[in-house]
Amino acid sequence: METNIHYVFGKEDLLDCVKPLWQELNKLHLDQSPCFKDFYASNTFETTKAALLSTARKGQLSIILACDAATVVGYCIASIVGNTGEIDSIFVSSGYRKMGIAGHLMDKALSWLKERKPKNMVVKVSAGNEKVFGFYARYGFYPCLTELQMLPDSYNNPRRKRRA
């Protein structure tokens, strides 16, 4: 496939441009999640957008779009709140993978973050999507902690066995 990828830089004004790809990413997480399918099934772009706008009000937000002509084929959202920089979300459409687009998005997002000198930089990976660890390791991100969350249907009976 011949492409002419160009990159567009912006802030929260570009959030709506990522919606179709964010929905594709959310579906991927839904399909891969071992325990939190209900979360991803009810997760909406509007909720995520509101959270990112809140992040922007508390700190700084950067959005980088990868475009093939007028079509957005990838994006990366990065933020800084306090002393922590974060790669909040990155995704490339399936037809455009293995072309170096995700790497370019990461390079550009990390440059933006490093210019602002946060003390820490993090990326969070959804359970079930551990295959991306190798990609992030190329940029110096390694698993540090594993956060376990109680499933909502376990609140009243935490010792109950759950289907795997």
| Alpha-carbon gap, residue 82 to 59, rounded angstroms | 7
C-alpha count within 13 angstroms, C-beta hemisphere, residue 59: 18
Q: Where are the alpha helices (DSSP H) in the chain?
A: 19-32, 37-42, 45-58, 101-116, 133-137
Mean pLDDT of the chain: 92
What would the DSSP string read from start to end of 49-84?
HHHHHHHHHHSEEEEEEEEETTEEEEEEEEEEETTE
Q: Which two tokens stand for residue 164?
A: 């795997």
Is this prediction's pTM over 0.85?
A: yes
Q: What is the pLDDT of residues 81-127, one digit of tens each?
A: 999 999 999 999 999 999 999 999 999 999 999 999 999 999 999 99
